[in-house]
Amino acid sequence: MAKFIFVTGGVVSSLGKGISASSLARLMKSRGLAVTCLKCDPYINVDPGTMNPYQHGEVFVTDDGAETDLDLGHYERFLNTDMHHINNITAGQVYDTVIRKERHGDFLGATVQVIPHITDEIKNRFRLVAKGQDIVIVEVGGTVGDIESLPFLEAARQMGIEAGKDNTLYIHVTLVPYIKASEELKTKPTQHSVGKLREIGINPDIIICRADRPISPELRAKISLFCSVHKEAVVDAPDVSSIYEVPLLFQRQGLDEQVLMLLRHRGRGKDLDPWIGVVERMRRATGEVHIALAGKYTEIKDAYKSVHEALVHGGILNDVKVHIRYLDVSSQDADKGLEGVHGILVPGGFGDRGIEGKIQVIRRAREEGIPFLGLCLGLQLAVIEFSRNVLKLQGANSTEFDPRTRYPVIDLLPEQKTVSELGATMRLGSYPCSLKKGSLAAKAYGAASVSERHRHRYEVNNKFRKLLDEGGLQVTGVNPAKNLAEIVELKGHPWFMAVQFHPEFKSRPEAPHPLFTDFIAASLRRAGAAGKEAHAR
Ligand code: GLN
């Protein structure tokens, strides 16, 4: 039977609970255990697909086409395994299922209630994920004390009784703030938060303390005493320069030993070397490249989480540090910030804000030979830019932004034109893509066919394919079943590629995505050329 580790958060949100859960998961994997993660989101939305990035950050897409919380991206990146729709549950899904069952008559005679009906449904979903696993790490979204997360915490408490002490573990991630005036770290918020958790019936076994600096042994002793956990079970989690250092930070404090001891499991060996190898290679990186990420949510970094991480991974095999400059494309002169960048990336997006700014940036990349990678909307805009400025199709556009354009170079497929419900109806999840022999993409992947994840409604309009091709913007990757353009490349440019899918979702530190690696390599060449030029001057 699988053992369950519940990770809760205290005091404030955004403490990096997802990173803590993922890091612990990676440590458990290093002990030879089959481990997976599950994120519980207490909101009523069925999934985050229709939420604004300001509300939610990035929507992470799984192979099986689920639109999920961005923490699943962390789980995939740290564990180097695929998550599925069952790895993210929301209050909306749980209530939806229970209400459908009620209408079907499954609870005939009963009053349907949060306890036991909602909590039973939550536990069913915990158990579903546990199949074939040694350990399931369940991260409960929100902060202890929120009304919304109560059913999930109650289900977690009940699991403790049902599965037994040796099979359940509770970890509380909490804030230990530094108070400038008194020049000390304060434990009171942690004490209160643990008190709150106890009211719900959960005694944490381990406390992970997030602070902006290391905590002293005295403070650790104090937290141990007041929160009633072993001193070794108080884990210090100060800010670190790279999230990928966190598993090492935890291991140094013996978190894996602690967890295995409490769960009465010996583990099956111990090998964190592959992870350590990657982290050390990142640390040793000598070169530097500057990449512009031209998006419209630049003030909230979570909106481009996977893109950011994939760019960082792109530096690993090139032994360079990747500096990412967020360009706000909704401002006038969006391309002003391109000074000194070695590569330009235009990420995915929806809606027309910032479109013209992105097009302006793509034009600079095309005309000045700056390495360019377009993702999803980034591809659609590269096609629009090329149609307008090279093919001279004045006013060319996507029907998403101009339904009456004379040149709908990006358009909906007939099946999308009849869609009336917006939730979960895009082209979602993994689709195969055949690569043109000898193309930049085929070389980067080292394959003839690949599978990548999608999340979009609009497609390149095949009526314009021939024109684009003759002009020099060539389709080098297609969806074989539907003959849809999946990749375009610009002839005669040092490195210009745009893809209709989202390669960023499949990049991991232990397996960086080949397109990002190749894009960073091209950017590095540009950086080298720029360096030489400056030297000659
Ligand atoms: N808005 C575009 C579409 O729906 C692009 C989506 C995206 O970039 N993920 O097709």
Q: How far apart are CA 340 and CA 290, in angstroms?
A: 7
Ligand 1: does its nearest atom lie under 6 Å from the Cβ of 385?
A: no
**Mutation probe of ligand 1 site: the residue of 456, 484, 501, 505 with most atoms within 8 A of C-beta:** 456
The per-residue pLDDT string of the chain (537 residues; one tens digit each, 9 = 90 and over) reads 899 999 999 878 778 899 999 999 999 999 999 999 999 999 999 999 888 888 788 999 999 999 999 999 999 999 999 999 999 999 999 999 999 999 999 998 999 999 999 999 999 999 999 999 999 999 999 999 899 999 999 999 999 999 999 999 999 999 999 999 988 889 999 999 999 999 999 999 999 999 988 899 999 999 999 999 999 999 999 889 899 999 999 999 999 999 999 999 999 999 999 999 999 999 999 999 999 999 888 777 789 999 999 999 999 999 999 999 999 888 777 778 889 999 999 999 998 888 999 999 999 999 999 999 999 999 999 999 999 999 999 999 999 999 999 999 999 988 888 888 888 888 999 999 999 999 999 999 999 999 999 999 999 999 999 999 999 999 999 999 999 999 999 999 999 999 999 999 999 999 999 999 999 999 999 988 777 776 666
Centre of ligand 1 from the C-alpha of residue 305, in Å: 17
Ligand 1: does its nearest atom lie under 6 Å from the Cβ of 457?
A: yes
Ligand 1: does its nearest atom lie under 6 Å from the Cβ of 53?
A: no
SS (H, E, C) 264-312: CCCCCCCCCHHHHHHHHHHHHCCEEEEEEEEECCCCCHHHHHHHHHHHH
In terms of phi and psi (left: phi > 0; alpha: psi -120 to 50; beta: otherwise), the region of 329 is: alpha
For residue 62, which of 76, 92, 77, 83 has the smallest C-alpha distance? 83
Ligand 1: does its nearest atom lie under 6 Å from the Cβ of 458?
A: yes
Q: How far apart are CA 423 and CA 139, in angstroms?
A: 24
Return the active site residues.
Answer: 376, 502, 504
Tokens of 378: 């980034």
Q: Which atom of ligand 1 is nearest to the CA of 458?
A: 10
Centre of ligand 1 from the C-alpha of residue 130, in Å: 34
Tokens of 27: 């440590």
Kindly calculate the radius of gyration of the chain based on its CA atoms and give it in whole angstroms.
25
Q: Which amino acid is at 151?
A: P
């999340």: which residue's tokens?
A: 455
Q: Which atom of ligand 1 is nearest to the CA of 459?
A: 10
Tokens of 355: 């479109």
Centre of ligand 1 from the C-alpha of residue 39, in Å: 25
Ligand 1: does its nearest atom lie under 6 Å from the Cβ of 134?
A: no
Q: How far is CA 285 from the centre of its chain?
A: 24
**Mutation probe of ligand 1 site: the residue of 458, 479, 486, 502 with most atoms within 8 A of C-beta:** 458
Ligand 1: does its nearest atom lie under 6 Å from the Cβ of 400?
A: yes
Alpha-helix residue ranges (DSSP H) falling in 187-237: 188-199, 217-227
Closest Cα to atom 1, ligand 1: which residue?
350
Centre of ligand 1 from the C-alpha of residue 498, in Å: 13
Ligand 1: does its nearest atom lie under 6 Å from the Cβ of 383?
A: no
Question: What is the end-to-end Cα distance of the chain in Å, rounded?
Answer: 68
For 421, residues 6+ apart whose C-beta sits below 8 A from its C-beta are: none
CA dihedral 458, 459, 461, 466 (to 10 degrees): 160
Closest Cα to atom 5, ligand 1: which residue?
377
- Residue 407 has a pLDDT of 97
DSSP 8-class letter at 117: I
Ligand 1: does its nearest atom lie under 6 Å from the Cβ of 455?
A: yes
Closest Cα to atom 3, ligand 1: which residue?
456
Decide: helix, strand or coil at residue 104. Answer: helix
**Mutation probe of ligand 1 site: the residue of 400, 402, 411, 504 with most atoms within 8 A of C-beta:** 400
Ligand 1: does its nearest atom lie under 6 Å from the Cβ of 309?
A: no
**Mutation probe of ligand 1 site: the residue of 345, 358, 377, 412 with most atoms within 8 A of C-beta:** 377
Tokens of 249: 């930070």
Centre of ligand 1 from the C-alpha of residue 348, in Å: 6
Tokens of 317: 């095999």
Centre of ligand 1 from the C-alpha of residue 480, in Å: 20
Centre of ligand 1 from the C-alpha of residue 316, in Å: 29
**Mutation probe of ligand 1 site: the residue of 381, 454, 457 with most atoms within 8 A of C-beta:** 457
CA dihedral 343, 347, 353, 357 (to 10 degrees): 10
Strand bridging mode 3-9 / 287-295 = unpaired
Centre of ligand 1 from the C-alpha of residue 406, in Å: 20
- Report phi then psi at 122, rounded to 5: -65, -45
Q: Residue 316 in contact with residue 278, Cβ under 8 Å?
A: yes
Q: Residue 499 in contact with residue 310, Cβ under 8 Å?
A: no
Ligand 1: does its nearest atom lie under 6 Å from the Cβ of 348?
A: yes
Tokens of 247: 């598993």
Centre of ligand 1 from the C-alpha of residue 400, in Å: 9
Q: How far apart are CA 489 and CA 383, in angstroms?
A: 10
SS (H, E, C) 157-194: HHHHHHHCHHHEEEEEEEECCEECCCCEECCHHHHHHH
Q: Residue 40 in contact with residue 267, Cβ under 8 Å?
A: no
Centre of ligand 1 from the C-alpha of residue 502, in Å: 10
- Residue 537 has a pLDDT of 67
Ligand 1: does its nearest atom lie under 6 Å from the Cβ of 377?
A: yes
Q: Which atom of ligand 1 is nearest to the CA of 348?
A: 8
Q: How far apart are CA 204 and CA 10, in angstroms?
A: 11
